[in-house]
Amino acid sequence: MAKTNTAFGRLLDILRSPRPYVPSTLTFPQLDIPALSERLRLTERAEESGRENRPPSNASQADRVESEIAEIVQEEYSHAVDIYRHGLENYDRRITGTAIQTLGVEIIGAAQDAVSEYTRVAHQAHDEISIDRQNLDEVEKEFNEFRTINKLRRGCRSPDGHFIHVGIILLILLADSIINGYFLSSRDEFGLLGGVLQAIIVAAANVLLGVFAGRLAIPNLIHKSTARRIGGLILLLVLLALIGGLSLSFAHYRDLFASGVANPEQRALSEVLDTPFGLHGIKSWWLVGFGLLFAFGSLLDGFMWDDPYPGYGEVARRREAKREDYHDRKHVWLESLGERREQARAEVSEIRRDIDIMQGEILQAGVGRRNFTAAFLAHVAHLESGANQLIDTYRDANRRVRKTQAPSYFEKRWRLEKTEVPVPSDVDRDHLRRQIEGITAALSDALTKIHETHDQTIGDFDRLDARKPVPTGPGQQIRLVR
């Protein structure tokens, strides 16, 4: 499992780290009594000693053969003790290596750390959202004050985008340029293309003036301020005069250009001032009409570029942007907090499962240790019994051939010289169960506190939205969905 940065995740890394033990595979080798008897030549050596009436009837200590048997069995016992001690160390590491008591302290600490981590993140989320909510309230207040000051009751009519408006203006500019170029192409040495090139600047100025009139002049006519209404009217009249003058001057230029007059640019300006409506050809009047028509089209497009009331679209867009930022930030935090809560829940479930596995390992190791101790004690009894079988074989063969009475110690059983070895007690199942219950209670308590912190944070978010003093339009109110 990949290492994680959460408190529960770090605890899982500890729980799933390699165990500091290996399973015990130690066994106690059994004595092969017949083979050992044959190897020591017990019967032959007993008969040899018996024919010579050895050991003497008054002997009180075992002879060389019995001592050899005792030495061999004693060595086997020492080897068995080494195996037993090593095996106990393995089992003890399996039982104490999992260290439920030590892990219990770590788990309780990790649970407290997890609650602290989640609480810190929740506080960070609340602080950031509170600032965003305050910023949104300020923009909402600005928006409502703008509506109140300007006595606006309707919603903002700000368009979704300007792609269509820009396209319309470009189409008007293109059409105006082509039509103007057509009317100028009769005597241009480059034909239609030459006329279009000459007319582009005039068409651009015509369209631009129309856009200015629709965007700057007309909206000010409906402004609350009298000064701005007067200014808008003056600006509209000036722009309309410029549009009309531009269209008439261009038409006079077309008349003079078609008549082949030298320097038609200079003559056109004087004729516009002297006889502005004294055009000589119907195409020149068409030129004026198309110019005014396209200027009016660009005026309408400029008027619809934004909300008609000056500044209303800007303040509404600023409010909408703040709303979206607040909404997005809040839901990012909600998703993050929810993911952290679910991650904590999943990690606690995994910790509980691992603790159950560890409990099973401890109990299994306890049973194994008990069985291993029983096997050692049984092996000790086997060694002592086997030694006595070998000694009895030797003594019986000695008795059969000797002529004197056997020593009195022949009636005694041989005893192992035992060393003190530890005999562990069983695992305290009740104590282990109480430890597991304490760990589980700590995990459950931490998870409960995380859930409570999560619910409290959501409630705080809801209260931030509930306290806002400004109403929102239909479909625009932000509500938290749990």
CB burial class (10 A; 0-12, 13-18, 19+) of residue 102? Answer: exposed
Other beta carbons within 10 angstroms of residue 337's beta carbon come to: 20
Domain count, the chain: 2
Whether the CB-CB separation of 294 and 210 falls below 8 Å is answered with: yes
- The C-alpha atoms of residue 139 and residue 423 are separated, in whole angstroms, by 79
Do both 301 and 370 map to the same domain? no
Whether the CB-CB separation of 453 and 118 falls below 8 Å is answered with: yes
Q: Is residue 138 part of a domain?
A: no
Q: What is the pTM of this model?
A: 0.54
Q: Is residue 157 part of a domain?
A: no
Mean pLDDT: which of 7-16, 68-77, 173-182, 273-282 is highest? Answer: 68-77
Q: Is residue 66 part of a domain?
A: yes
pLDDT at 473: 39
Residue 81, token pair as written in the block: 């003790």
Q: Which of 323, 314, 315 is nearest to 475 (CA)?
A: 323
Split at pLDDT 50, 70, 90, the class of 72 is very high
Q: Is residue 143 part of a domain?
A: no
- The C-alpha atoms of residue 335 and residue 425 are separated, in whole angstroms, by 52
Where do we find the tokens 């007309």?
A: 218
Q: In this predicted structure, which of 68-77, 218-227, 266-275 has the lowest mean pLDDT?
A: 266-275
Domain of residue 393: give its range: 7-118+322-453
Do both 261 and 381 map to the same domain? no
Q: Is residue 156 part of a domain?
A: no
Whether the CB-CB separation of 248 and 272 falls below 8 Å is answered with: yes
Split at pLDDT 50, 70, 90, the class of 102 is low
Torsional class of 311: left (φ above 0), alpha (ψ -120 to 50), beta (otherwise)? left
Q: Is residue 444 part of a domain?
A: yes
User: Which DSSP string do the residues of 112-158 spell out, in sequence order?
Assistant: HHHHHHHHHHHHHHHHHHHHHHHHHHHHHHHHHHHHHHTT--SPP--
Do both 174 and 300 map to the same domain? yes
Where do we find the tokens 């129309």?
A: 210
Share of the chain above pLDDT 90, in %: 12
Instruction: Encode pLDDT of 8-66 as tens digits.
Output: 666 666 555 555 444 445 578 888 889 988 998 999 998 898 898 999 989 888 899 98
Instruction: Encode pLDDT of 130-163 as tens digits.
Output: 888 888 888 888 888 878 888 778 877 666 554 5
Q: Is residue 89 part of a domain?
A: yes
Do both 167 and 287 map to the same domain? yes
Residue 176, token pair as written in the block: 């105006």
Domain end call among 277, 305, 333: 305
CA–CA distances in Å: residue 375 to residues 29, 172, 380, 433: 11, 104, 9, 28
